[in-house]
Amino acid sequence: MREAPEDFAVDEQLGFEADGSGDHLWLSVRKRGANTDWVARQLARHYGVAPVDVGYAGLKDRDAVTTQVFTVHLPGRTDPQAPPPVIEGVEVLQTARHRRKLKRGALQGNRFRLRVRRIEGGQDAAERCLQRISDHGVPNYFGEQRFGSGGRNVERALAMFAGQRVDRQARSMLLSAARSQLFNQVLARRVREQSWNQGLDGEVWSLAGSRSWFGPEPWTGTLAARLAERDIHPSGPLWGRGELSTQACARALEIAALQDSRALCEGLERAGLEQDRRALRLLPRALSWAWADPETLELGFELPAGAYATVVLRELVDAQA
C-alpha cells in the first residue's frame, strides 16, 4: 500500500461550487505528497494573509494524490487570481470568487481510488470479501490517523487531563483522539458480539446521510425495514457530558465497554464536550474493483465525511509492513 502517492488518490466532494463573487478566493488544487496544513500556510504566505484567513473543509493525506479546495480571505483586492501561487507538489486547477470562508467539515465526503499491491490469498477470496463489504458495509471505526504517530495521542490526552498544558490546536486534536478511542472500544465490543450492524434493545439510531439520531424506540417491522434498506444504522457514543441516550441492552453494553476508561470519560466531560452519537455501520458507495494484474487490486469507492478509507481496507487485507 502507498508504494507511490498515486496508489492513494482522494477527490474531495463538497457538494457545492464557488459562488462566483465575494471576498474569498476559491482555489481548487491537486496536491501530491503535501500536507493540507502546510499547503494552507504556503497560501497564506503567498497572499500575505494570516493563516486563519485560509479555509479548507478537511485534512487530506500527505502520502497521496488529492484534490481539495482552499479559500483565502482577500477583501478589496480586485484581481488576486493571477498569477497563481507556485507551491512544490501543488497544481492549481481552478480559481474563482466565493462569499464565505470554507470551514472544517463543510463537505459531503470523498471519492477514493486505491491500489493495493502484492495481494496474497487469491482473487476469488478477495472478490468474495469485496462483495460482502458492498452488501453489508464495514464497522465504522475511527482510523489510525486519528491517534497520531505511534497511536500516542490517547496517552497524551490522559496527560492533558491530568494537568499537562497544551496549546489550543493540540487540545482539539487530543480531545478528538480520546473521544475516538472510546467510540472504537464500544464498536469493537459490538463486533465481538456480532451486533454492530443490528439493533439491540434500547438502541439509538443514526439517520443515514446526516448527523441526526433518534430513539430509543420499541423494535418494529418498520425499523427492521429501514435498517435493511440502509436508511438507519445502529450508533455508538461520542462521549461527553450528560446521560447516555441508550437504554436496556445497548446501554449496558456501552457501560461495560467503557468501565476501564473512566479517566478518558471524565476528562472529556470536564472539557465541556456534550454527548453525541456516530453510526456503527459504514456503507461504501459506488464500490468497484479491477485487477491490474493477479496481485494488484484497484479499488474505487465513496465515503461520507468523517469516514476512513483505511477501515474499509482493514476488512479486506491484513496489511504487512
65 near 5, Cβ under 8 Å?
yes
CA distances, 91 to each of 20, 179, 273 (Å) = 21, 35, 39
Q: What letter does residue 184 receive in the DSSP assignment?
A: H
For the annotated catalytic residues, the residue numbers are 61
In the chain, the DSSP E strands lie at 8-13, 24-32, 54-56, 65-73, 90-98, 109-116, 138-139, 205-207, 213-214, 232-238, 276-279, 281-282, 285-293, 296-304
For helices 153-161 and 262-270, the axis angle rounded to 10 degrees is 60
Does residue 259 contact residue 88 with C-beta atoms inside 8 Å?
Answer: no
What are the residues whose beta carbons fall under 8 Å from the beta carbon of 124, sequence distance 6 or more? none
Residue type, 256: A
